[in-house]
Amino acid sequence: MSYLHAGLPKPMPRPDGLDSAYWEAAAQDVLKVQRCNACRGWQWGPEWICHRCLSDDVGFEAVAPTGRIYSYERVWHPVHPALQEQGPYLVALVELPQCDGIRMVGNLLGNPRQAVRIGAAAHAVFEHHADDDPAFTLVQWQLD
């Protein structure tokens, strides 16, 4: 099942290239997040400087595509006209404990009425859209 319905804007790297490493890695089934090369702190979403030490020496590192559910929402009302027939669906805020607890947002795959426990283990699922122009990959989440 594709979570990107026709009519929704397609995700793509920012024109300035800030998050290109994330998108390129996702296309290879790798999760990369930003890390400061000066203080070694993690951060998400991508920024030009480190939020901790203000260094501009930031890059991306591959991390285990695992985390835990920090919060979630079961969405019943469409937030975009292309989602009129989609609902409910789950959106999760997934915490990556191995990365200073940064949090990423994504769809939570599976039965939209499934029980979701805060703190439950989850892993990334890479949904490829290779036939789109330009091609892209969504990072989704699934309970373990």
Strand partners for 71: 93
Q: What's the pLDDT score for residue 78? A: 76
Q: How far apart are CA 7 and CA 103, in angstroms?
A: 27
Q: What's the pLDDT score for residue 74? A: 94
Tokens 């373990």, residue?
144
The whole model's pTM is what? 0.88
Q: What's the pLDDT score for residue 82? A: 73
Instruction: For the chain, list residues with pLDDT below 70.
Output: 1-10
Count CB atoms within 10 A of the CB of residue 94: 25
Residue 98's closest CA among 62, 125, 49? 62
- Which helix (DSSP H) or strand (DSSP E) does residue 56 occupy? none
Q: What's the pLDDT score for residue 59? A: 97
Q: Which amino acid is at 92?
A: A
Q: What's the pLDDT score for residue 83? A: 73
